[in-house]
Amino acid sequence: MAYIDFREAELSGSLSTAFAPRAEPEVTAHASGFSALEWLVVALARRDSLGSLRTPGRIGSALSRIFGGRGEPRLANPRLEALRRFAVFAWHRGHNVPPSELAAFRDAGFSPNQAETVLESILSTRAVKFARG
């Protein structure tokens, strides 16, 4: 979508600058190798249960439609879904993430260092929560 800033044209005295194409803002990765969106996925995974990782069966899906229930927690982006699944296991099981989830995390383009970063972040948050009671 185009954006025209007429204030800039007024200041410079030229409409050609107002119609110049603008670059879209990029989602940049932090020093950890994760973007803000990816850290948000990790934080939101804290509320997901291990049951959210299972594919609902036909009966479960039908009951959910009839009685209402929590929608499908899966993310449309496969990379973010791999991150969410990894983070859900980390929130609930700590370092005991299944090898299949580690492989899916790696296949989604994440590095072993990023896996350690997520685990350290989650475990330190869990430790603070546990210490507070």
Span 45-99, pLDDT tens digits: 999 888 877 766 777 667 777 877 665 677 889 999 999 999 999 999 999 999 9
Which of 25-29, 100-104, 121-125 is the least confident region?
25-29
Dihedral sign computed on CA atoms, order 61, 62, 64, 65: positive
CA distance 132 to 115: 26
Whether the full predicted model's pTM is greater than 0.85, yes or no, is no
CA distance 69 to 113: 37
Domain ranges for the chain, please list them: 30-132
Contacts of 74 (CB under 8 A, 6+ apart): 81, 84
Structure letter (DSSP) for residue 54: S
CA distance 83 to 77: 10
Q: What is the pLDDT of residue 73?
A: 72
Tokens 């590095």, located at residue: 111
pLDDT above 90 as % of the chain: 47
Confidence class for position 114, pLDDT limits 50, 70, 90: very high
